[in-house]
Structure 1
Amino acid sequence: MGYEYRSERAIRDNCRTYSARSVCHVVLSIEAVLAGMMVPWCSNAAGILTLNEVEVRADARNLIGTADSANEGTVLKRQLDERTVYRPGELLETVPGLIVTQHSGEGKANQYFARGFNLDHGTDLRITVDGMLVNQRSHGHGQGWADMNFIIPELAGGLRYQKGPYYADLGDFSSAGAVSMSYVDKLPRGIANYGVGQQGFIRGLLAKSYEAGNGNFLYAFELLTKDGPWINKENYKKFNAVLRYSQNTGNTRFNITAMGYGGNWNATDQIPQRAVTWGLIPRLGAIDPSDGGESHRFSLSAALQHTSNHGVTRANLYTIHSNLALFSNFTYFLDDPINGDQFSQTDKRFQSAFNLNHTWVTGLAGFAFENLAGIQVQSDVIDNGLLSTQQRRVLSVTRKDHVLENSVGLYYQNSVQWLEKFRSVAGVRSDFYWFDINSNIDANSGREYDSITNPKLSLIFGPWAKTEYYFNYGSGFHSNDARGVTTTVDPKSREPVSRVHPLVRSTGYEAGLRTAIIPGLQASITFFQLDLASELLFVGDAGTTEASRPSRRKGFELSAFYMPNNWLMMDLDYALADARFTDWDPAGNHIPGAVKGVGKFAVAVDNLGPLFGSMQIRYFGKRPQVEDNSIQSGNTVTVNGQIGIKIDKKFRVMLQVFNLFNTKAHAIDYYYTSRLPNEPDAGIADRHFHPIESRSFRINLVGNF
């Protein structure tokens, strides 16, 4: 079930006896909110007063009085538990306006779409899990690589999402948005889950938590295999493991967590439309059946939160070791008519980070100022490469690089309740980056430094009639691949190329409202504009960096969550965006792959006898494929759902269905030039697509102990 906490305004009403202008807060990490923890405290000019007993009643999704914009929100654990997802990354589709898809094998990072972006594998969507940044910078396959395959859905405690560059504590990759997922510290009961289904699906999960000393010890182990509907079976195999110890009582709370993931797979990448039309391959076939990959990820993390009369201090520390070997062939025989164009991208890294922040309150002229200051330090030691291969056999080395990338982010944020119906949040963030690249091509080696400072401002009015209004401004950034910062020659042709700027600024403007005027309903609408100085991205498939043009995205997002009672829950969102290049070019000003409209509707029924179930409808709108918009992708509508029965309090059975109406639509589309055997040397420009997986069923047997 969903966790609840009392709103800031309700707590503030209990604090007025301390000072006419005292401000009361619920200051804690979102992980704590979604795990049912809360640390309420009041402040006035004399200092901070802890409230030991505060009644917990309000819905956790009611952010009126606490949110800084209309675009931020929370997703409850109950919503995640009742979601029918084909792959773990699709849990993020509970975020309004966000689409998660795939264009290759299951072990590869997802493709993300939001706010008029084709975010590729995570270029401008910041994803963290238990405080660990999932996006990997200067990755072998592309900047921002965010692989969610290590997630165990049953352990997800909830999500917090924020859109736009308006938040001082969010740095790299967050221009379009940020999603923070928490893991639970303990489970109400142990979970034993065994699932079987069509397309070779088998999954087993065992998870349980125990009281240990003053805290809890939690473990989870998952094994999965899946072939998919493809002619060339995926033979995807993965394991996941989690060990966690936590203490969540007293003024000091902490957890220590170890995670491990490994996977290997065959891939059916996107295929050319002409190959299917001409009957060369079936719709679920592959051009190069040797594509695929293997990866692993191991992490050790610790998080701490300490509450005192001086405020709340939070810290987390983690280190991640990951390794990926990816084999792809998107152009087939265009570059090498004899051996084919398959290439391998490798990435091996140690990623370490330390994050520390402190929240405190000071009084001045009768006002209480809530202050937040923090530092974020990250270091990446990376070895990656681009190799020419044939059937996963290395033919030649295009480039190999040893990359050291270090960064420090400093931020400060100040919140003030100026009037009963008006408050402001102002912040500033400075980021400093150091790059050191040692390449097998001497001309592409070197060192570089860059920094950027970004202001943030939010103005919040209300609430009136349980409705609050927001105006936001801020600038942010995304980093570019370190190799592009020092590259001076193309690694294939050895022709001169221009270096790129390490850090690229984004600037956003937004207005919106949030309302809870109807009991059980939480709704918001947001109008936004986001400008990027340049969409500079490392093109991992070619081993080079391209600087694209400046751009602007504008649109709106609408979301509504309705829970009128404890057995019915409905979630609706729709977003529309217009994405254009802002300079002139005869090719046109549309941004290829930029999503226009997306929408989702989910309904879940539970706590109404032994039966329970849910259904999700997903609309993925058209995208321009070329700059003049003369070629567009189609739209995609899919329906997933599940129905189950509770045999008793400890055992239930679920039947899940994916792509209920067996649509033949596309998961993703691209338009580029490729060459099949016996075609002209210059190749043929064509639509390339990855089909939606055909309808499949799974049965899950879940026991609690």
Structure 2
Amino acid sequence: MKYYLYLLFTLLPLLGSSQNIEGVVYAGGVPLQDVSVKNSRTEMATSTNSNGGFTFSDIQTGDQLIFSYIGYETKTVVVNSQNINGQLSVVLIRSDISLTEIQINKDLNTLEKIVAIDVQNNPVRSSQEILRRVPGLFIGQHAGGGKAEQIFLRGFDVDHGTDVAINVDGIPVNQVSHAHGQGYSDLHFVIPETIEAIEFGKGPYYTNQGNFNTAGYVGFRTSKRINQNSVSLEYGGFDSFRTVGQFKLLDTQKSSAYVATSYYITDGPFESSQNFNRFNILGKYNYKIRKDEELTLTLFRFTSKWDASGQIPQRAVDQGLISRFGAIDDTEGGQTSRTNVLIEHERFLTDSQKLTSRAFYSQYDFELFSNFTFFLEDPINGDQIRQFEDRNTYGFQTVLSDKFYNGNTGFAYDAGIGLRYDNVDDIQLSRTANRKELLERLAFGDVDETNFYSFVNTEFEFGDFKLNSGLRLDYFKFDYVDNLVEEYETLSEDKFTFSPKLNLIYTPTDRLQLFAKTGIGFHSNDTRVVVANQGKDILPSAYGADLGSVFKVTDKLVFNAALWYLFLEQEFVYVGDAGIVEPSGKTRRTGVDLGLRYEPLPWLYFYGDATYTYARAIDEPDGEDLIPLAPDFTVTGGVNVQNFNNFSGGINYRFLGDRPANEDNSIVAEGYFVTDANINYTYKNYTFGLIVENLFDVEWKETQFATESRLRNEAQPVEEIHFTPGTPFFLRARVSATF
């Protein structure tokens, strides 16, 4: 009996020593979200919520808790009895992001953290640069700077967004059934300086990403609050001027508010002035209702107008009819605007269970004048077309999430529902002359498209493994009213699609992650295509698989690699420029992604990414199975200097190899190698900088298409490369101040 009593009293202190601990992480007096918290004894890890709070189980006196967050110094706290009885308060100090801070863990998108260093060392300074921050993603502009960029990723010519899902603060950017093309994604409403984080993933492996997530997705998160006011002025070649201001309106423990605005004008390098102008404004208000509940209101507004010289035929330049920066029809151009209203609500139902909701409204209008074929269809008036739409988009999403941990095992889930409704009035394609005279309406109608979706995403952690599985359900309703027919009729189709995902991550150490990802995504078709084809092949699926690794070789060297495959089912594509339905068959793409980051010194940083892709149409004969404009080989990289005796800057390059412009490679789109540079000097609260695009003034073609066209005096049409010239040497000076 004495023996059992002795054993009981001996074990009681031990049993009582394993307890829970709660705490909050701050930075500059503000709670910090997504801070990694790890117990060095148990190797269990969690992260802070939007209120900076965290809860840990299985805690003992003497445990070491390691707090780490990108851009802040890592801090270690030793747990004592007072911490366990009370609430732990941890303050992190801001520092430059360094590769030494990066810990490889079981995150599905570890590469996001590494790319955050790229962004710090080479901040985004223009709307065109935003998407270029995603490794392996290329863009091209071919309409005077006002139109959405053409996108290339993983062997896809994504056009303006058909196979990459893009969002800003959860607001979808891709426009369904757009007047210019399906998935049209205009990011110019974003002020680059307000971007706090870039989220991305390649392939169709993400349950919370729906329509257009085949080649991948990109998400941008704007800052919830700003630390200080700032103003910048920028002036350079081609009479380019840009100014940006960010101003705190409110900053208390319970609420904060700021406004940011930007104005940009330029004539561009073309012989006919672009007369480009764009105005942006962003306002954000954040209110902490209570300790575990928060409300955020965000407003965006942007408007833009421009003239364009358009794409030009290679023969016109070769024959000396025009220069590389000349035009066949310089009456092209357009105007567009967008207003977004976003309300976000977050509430913790328990210490770990969270309910996140958002609702948004977007008003958007678009008008574009183009001429791709010159005098092919109309030898008298020319082939100018007008594309127009007036759109209202409504949407909401609610997600319930929770996490459970027990020793070295854990379970987390996200379950969400959402709705998106697009009402597009007077969407039209017309033949016009000189932007003023209406010659003929080719298409004119009203589109109503509804997408209801739900998803469940689960994560099981056991030891060094994480199994991520999920299922997504999407329902689409397509309605179209053709205003060119006499009798009123609503043409309607609907469709369900299921998208399962399964990913396995193995992290044996904090320096190595191995992953295998599989999933099915989809890309919806234009409503006008759907009703024209009686609902056939309207939600073609994409089947993807990735096998790869992220390896932190040393504290200063990180390497990543992935072997991937993507199969896309047959689809019908609405070609907005021509007003026709164009079918395409099944395609497959196989490729390799490689990336390297090296930081030999605290102020010196090298990075590089390369992608090789083998892309083919499946049902076409050999030699005629190439996918037009699909990039085969791309490389991006550079070297950046940060905070070296008050200097910062870098040299960055991008290489796009030659690629087929048509199915048999008889017409080739030439590749290019372009280098940009910037240098900045900071004195007190002022920063002075120089930005150079195309440092070596190479002649390059930013966008290219194999197009059949006819010039005014030609008897027969010619199919050849039509292109938009890339920007020549372009120098800008910049000064900014913080206060």
Q: Is TM-score (shorter-chain normalized) higher than 0.5?
A: yes
Task: Give TM-score scaled by structure 2 length.
Answer: 0.86
Q: Which residue of 2 aligns with 1:238?
A: 278
Counterpart CA distance in 1 for 2:171 and 2:34 is 28
Q: Which residue of 2 aligns with 1:385?
A: 428
Q: 2:107 aligns with which of 67, 77, 82?
A: 67
Q: 2:442 aligns with which of 391, 398, 409?
A: 398
Q: Which residue of 2 aligns with 1:371?
A: 413
Compute the displacement of 1:576 (Å). Answer: 0.9
Q: Which residue of 2 aligns with 1:579?
A: 615
Counterpart CA distance in 2 for 1:84 and 1:258 is 21
Compute the displacement of 1:441 (Å). Answer: 3.9
Task: Please say which of residues 363-372 and 595-604 is displaced more in the overlay.
Answer: 363-372
- 2:42, 2:407 within 8 Å by CA — same for their partners in 1? no
Compute the displacement of 1:65 (Å). Answer: 2.0
Deviations 1:544-593 (A, max 9, x none): 22220100011011122334554233321111111100113477110001
- 2:538, 2:572 within 8 Å by CA — same for their partners in 1? no
Unaligned runs of 5+ in 2: 1-26, 59-83
Q: Which residue of 1 aligns with 2:560?
A: 524
Determine whether 1:165 maps to 2:204: yes
Q: Which residue of 1 aligns with 2:687?
A: 652
Compute the displacement of 1:366 (Å). Answer: 9.8
Secondary structure at the residue paired with 1:536? strand
Q: Which residue of 2 aligns with 1:20?
A: none
Deviations 1:261-312 (A, max 9, x none): 0000001211100000011111101111100000001111122222333512
Secondary structure at the residue paired with 2:629? coil
Q: Which residue of 1 aligns with 2:458?
A: 414
Show the 5 A alignment for 1:167-566: 167-213=206-252, 214-247=254-287, 250-307=291-348, 308-309=350-351, 311-361=353-403, 368-383=410-425, 384-393=427-436, 394-418=438-462, 420-442=463-485, 445-464=490-509, 466-487=511-532, 500-563=536-599, 566=602
Compute the displacement of 1:703 (Å). Answer: 1.2
Secondary structure at the residue paired with 1:572? strand
Q: Which residue of 2 aligns with 1:495?
A: none
| Alpha carbons of structure 1 residues 84 and 376: separation in structure 2 relative to 1, 3 Å | closer
Counterpart CA distance in 2 for 1:376 and 1:14 is 41
- 2:672, 2:700 within 8 Å by CA — same for their partners in 1? yes
The amino acid across from 1:474 in the alignment is G
Q: Which residue of 2 aligns with 1:19?
A: none
Counterpart CA distance in 2 for 1:480 and 1:255 is 33
- 1:235, 1:266 within 8 Å by CA — same for their partners in 2? yes
The amino acid across from 1:121 in the alignment is H
Compute the displacement of 1:611 (Å). Answer: 2.1
Counterpart CA distance in 2 for 1:518 and 1:189 is 36
Compute the displacement of 1:679 (Å). Answer: 1.4
Deviations 1:478-520 (A, max 9, x none): 11111111126xxxxxxxxx76532110000110001223103
Secondary structure at the residue paired with 1:275? helix
Counterpart CA distance in 1 for 2:509 and 2:141 is 43
| Alpha carbons of structure 1 residues 267 and 39: separation in structure 2 relative to 1, 3 Å | farther
- 2:537, 2:571 within 8 Å by CA — same for their partners in 1? no
Counterpart CA distance in 1 for 2:34 and 2:495 is 43
Counterpart CA distance in 2 for 1:149 and 1:692 is 19
Percent of aligned pairs with the same residue? Answer: 29
Secondary structure at the residue paired with 2:258? strand
Deviations 1:179-199 (A, max 9, x none): 111111222221111111111
Secondary structure at the residue paired with 1:679? coil
Q: Which residue of 1 aligns with 2:74?
A: none
Secondary structure at the residue paired with 2:644? coil
Unaligned runs of 5+ in 1: 17-22, 489-497
Secondary structure at the residue paired with 2:130? helix
- 1:11, 1:54 within 8 Å by CA — same for their partners in 2? no
- 1:175, 1:477 within 8 Å by CA — same for their partners in 2? yes
Counterpart CA distance in 1 for 2:669 and 2:444 is 35
Compute the displacement of 1:221 (Å). Answer: 1.5
Counterpart CA distance in 2 for 1:365 and 1:187 is 38
Counterpart CA distance in 2 for 1:676 and 1:548 is 29
Task: Please say which of residues 158-167 and 529-538 is displaced more in the overlay.
Answer: 529-538
Secondary structure at the residue paired with 1:678? coil
Show the 5 A alignment for 1:59-138: 62=102, 64-68=104-108, 75-76=115-116, 79=119, 82-83=122-123, 87-138=126-177
| Alpha carbons of structure 1 residues 460 and 278: separation in structure 2 relative to 1, 3 Å | same
Secondary structure at the residue paired with 1:218? strand
Counterpart CA distance in 2 for 1:27 and 1:77 is 21
| Alpha carbons of structure 1 residues 692 and 545: separation in structure 2 relative to 1, 3 Å | same
Determine whether 1:700 maps to 2:731: no
Secondary structure at the residue paired with 1:485? helix
Secondary structure at the residue paired with 1:603? strand
Counterpart CA distance in 1 for 2:237 and 2:379 is 38
Task: Please say which of residues 442-451 and 127-136 is displaced more in the overlay.
Answer: 442-451
The amino acid across from 2:649 in the alignment is G
- 2:98, 2:602 within 8 Å by CA — same for their partners in 1? no
- 1:386, 1:398 within 8 Å by CA — same for their partners in 2? yes
Counterpart CA distance in 2 for 1:286 and 1:147 is 24
Secondary structure at the residue paired with 2:369? strand
Compute the displacement of 1:39 (Å). Answer: 4.7
Secondary structure at the residue paired with 1:230? coil
Counterpart CA distance in 2 for 1:570 and 1:12 is 32
Compute the displacement of 1:621 (Å). Answer: 1.8
Counterpart CA distance in 2 for 1:449 and 1:499 is 7
Secondary structure at the residue paired with 1:123? coil
- 1:173, 1:478 within 8 Å by CA — same for their partners in 2? yes
- 1:83, 1:614 within 8 Å by CA — same for their partners in 2? no
Counterpart CA distance in 2 for 1:459 and 1:564 is 32
Q: Which residue of 1 aligns with 2:20?
A: none
Q: Which residue of 2 aligns with 1:493?
A: none
Compute the displacement of 1:341 (Å). Answer: 0.6
| Alpha carbons of structure 1 residues 54 and 286: separation in structure 2 relative to 1, 3 Å | same
Compute the displacement of 1:53 (Å). Answer: 4.9
For the pair shown, the structure with the greater C-alpha radius of gyration is: 2
Task: Give TM-score scaled by structure 1 length.
Answer: 0.90
Counterpart CA distance in 1 for 2:209 and 2:598 is 29
- 1:193, 1:702 within 8 Å by CA — same for their partners in 2? yes
- 2:203, 2:213 within 8 Å by CA — same for their partners in 1? yes
The amino acid across from 2:481 in the alignment is N
- 2:106, 2:507 within 8 Å by CA — same for their partners in 1? no
The amino acid across from 1:578 in the alignment is Y
- 1:127, 1:180 within 8 Å by CA — same for their partners in 2? yes
The amino acid across from 1:334 in the alignment is L
- 2:251, 2:257 within 8 Å by CA — same for their partners in 1? yes
> Over the residues paired in the alignment, what is the CA RMSD in angstroms?
2.8
Q: 2:192 aligns with which of 107, 131, 153?
A: 153
